[in-house]
């Protein structure tokens, strides 16, 4: 692993630690009010707003006060923002945590998925998968992990053949590239 990769992982872990209490608080609020999906949508919107390059440059301006930063993001979210979300934005702004919104949204969605018994799985294949293949993969993962599976599929022709599956902490690398790497390693040893 490169030094940059190690720094990136350390940064992500730090971001997650800062974001986790906010994500948990929003999740508990949303669960109590039976608004899991609507809060998910709000968080995605707010995360997109603060991640926008133009907004980032405005928010990074040292002359912009924290309360002004919160008001700016609230206005940018438009009519889709409601009181609870505006309160969250103001709290994040006052604590200098607006940049944590993408991580808060991701952690919130993990909590929501866990509560709903759902697990997102990423499938990267060398060629597009048929509906039958997707169904078979989702079924096998459900049997193995005991949860409903939502597949996010993409194609990477560099895999040559096969697929790589990421589902929570589980990684299944069935790509031709991985098989060739293992064969090469076996031949060298």
Mean pLDDT of 129-142: 90
Q: For the segment 110-119, what is each residue's pLDDT rounded down to a tens digit?
A: 899 888 888 8
d(CA 16, CA 110): 12
Domains 3-113 and 118-188 fall in the same CATH topology? no
Higher pLDDT, 189 or 154: 154
CB atoms within 10 A of CB 67: 11
Of residues 30, 4, 14, the one with CA closest to residue 84: 30
pLDDT at residue 5 in the model:
43
pLDDT tens-digit map of 20-64: 999 999 999 999 999 999 999 999 999 999 999 999 999 999 899
The yes-or-no verdict on residue 9 having pLDDT over 70 is no
Question: What is residue 53's predicted lDDT score, i.e. its pLDDT?
Answer: 93
What lies within 8 Å, CB to CB, of 6 at 6+ separation is: none
DSSP state of 97: -
Contact in structure between 79 and 45 (CB atoms under 8 Å): no
To 10 degrees, what angle do helices 36-51 and 3-32 make? 140
d(CA 131, CA 42): 31
Domain 3-113 maps to which CATH number in 3.40.50.20, 3.40.50.720, 1.10.520.20, 2.40.50.140? 1.10.520.20
Phi, psi of 55 (to 5 degrees): -65, -40
- Would you state the structure tokens that stand for residue 158, as one six-digit string? 């560099």
Which pLDDT score is estimated for 154? Answer: 92
Q: Do residues 126 and 155 make contact, with C-beta atoms less than 8 angstroms apart? A: yes
Going from N- to C-terminal start, the domains of the chain cover 3-113, 118-188
CATH number of 118-188: 3.40.30
pLDDT score at 80: 66
Is pTM, for the whole model, over 0.85?
no
């Amino acid at each position: 692993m490169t030094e940059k990769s190690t720094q990136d992982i350390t940064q992500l872990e730090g971001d997650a630690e800062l974001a986790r209490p906010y994500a948990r608080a929003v999740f508990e609020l949303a669960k109590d009010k039976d608004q899991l999906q609507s809060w998910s949508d709000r968080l995605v919107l707010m995360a997109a707003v603060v991640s926008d390059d133009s907004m980032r440059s405005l928010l990074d301006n040292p002359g912009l006060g924290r309360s002004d930063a919160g008001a700016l993001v609230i206005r940018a979210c438009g009519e889709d923002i409601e009181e609870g979300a505006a309160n969250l934005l103001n709290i994040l702004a006052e604590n200098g945590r607006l940049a944590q919104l993408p991580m808060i949204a991701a952690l919130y969605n993990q909590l929501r998925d866990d509560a709903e018994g759902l697990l997102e799985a990423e499938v990267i294949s060398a060629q597009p998968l048929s509906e039958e293949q997707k169904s078979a993969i989702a079924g096998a993962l459900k049997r193995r992990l005991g949860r409903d599976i939502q597949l996010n599929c993409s194609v990477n022709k560099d895999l040559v053949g096969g697929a790589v599956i990421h589902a929570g902490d589980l990684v299944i690398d069935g790509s031709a590239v991985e098989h060739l790497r293992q064969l090469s390693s076996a031949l060298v040893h």
